[in-house]
Amino acid sequence: MEYRKLGETGLEVSELSLGASSLGSVFRKVNKDEGVRTVHVAIENGINLIDVSPYYGLTKAETVLGEAISQVQRERIILSTKAGRYGDNSFDFSPRRIKKSIDESLIRLKTDYIDILHLHDIEFGSLDEIINDSLPALEELKKEGKIRFFGVSGLPLKIFEEVLKEVNIDTILSYCQYSLNNTNLLNIQSNVLEKGVGIINASPLSMGLLSNRGAPSWHPASKEIKETCRKAVEYCSINGIDITKLAVQFSVQNKNISTTLVGTANPENIVKNIKWINEPINYEQLFKVKEILKPINNKIWLSGRKENN
């Protein structure tokens, strides 16, 4: 496992990290024991950053993760959670709710501090409120010692640029913007790095578009994106290529991205992903798959408020 600097935080994070949304039964029903075992296997195999949110499974993911990390040395883990989103259409970025949220998360996670706190999917809120009220509240939490570092997460890259113009943050968490079918993250990468901000990349499978199981019914991508990704998956299946492997290998190759989050609640999948990133990527396969995906290259869907896209 390779470890990379996370911006100017001083943290060294594993190039592959665990996205704990699956512990909340977001994609399939997961029992507590399976979730706990997944976390332990990840840590034992060198993963040190785990990301979660109260939104995932409506607090279930945090609860299961708390059970898992209570059984290991806290110092072995860089724990990242979020505040601001609590349901599909439930958002509250007010300082009061953020402070209440972190106290609730600390109880569920069975810890007395969070390493990184992100405001969750800020494109659904007012960026004025985020910049002038929400982020200053995180600065207060940092001074109180409840969190060590903070940043913002979301889909539209515009939100990161707007925040970085006004506020000093430690990290950004971007998803579905650096994968086989979309590398838009490169458009802001230099600016983010120049400001000393660490980049966390999530969903190298584009929320299931680049998986054999396929995208879930609720996936917000257009019909064109879904069908083109399905063609790439089918091509790989016919030709003995594991598109999931290719997607994960591709994402971790960019060393300017500190870590890539892979979401799973399956211990075997964790071991498999770690094995993959230690193998050389097949560039011939990569070229062929990228050619199939070319018609939708860098196409993305809208998320949140219109003005934030």
Which of the residues are catalytic?
56
DSSP E strands, 90-135: 90-91, 114-119
DSSP H helices in 109-222: 127-129, 135-144, 157-166, 186-194
In the numeric block, the tokens 């659904």 are attached to 124
CA-to-CA separations, 126 to 84, 117, 168, 189, 300, in angstroms, rounded: 12, 19, 18, 24, 21
- Which two tokens mark 99? 């402070």
Strands 12-14 and 3-5: antiparallel
> What is the spatial distance between Cα 228 and Cα 111, in angstroms, rounded to a whole number?
44
Residue 228's identity, in one-letter code, is T
Among residues 275, 306, 261, 259, the alpha carbon closest in space to that of 9 is found at: 259
CA-to-CA separations, 73 to 1, 48, 50, 104, in angstroms, rounded: 19, 11, 14, 21
> What is the spatial distance between Cα 129 and Cα 184, in angstroms, rounded to a whole number?
26
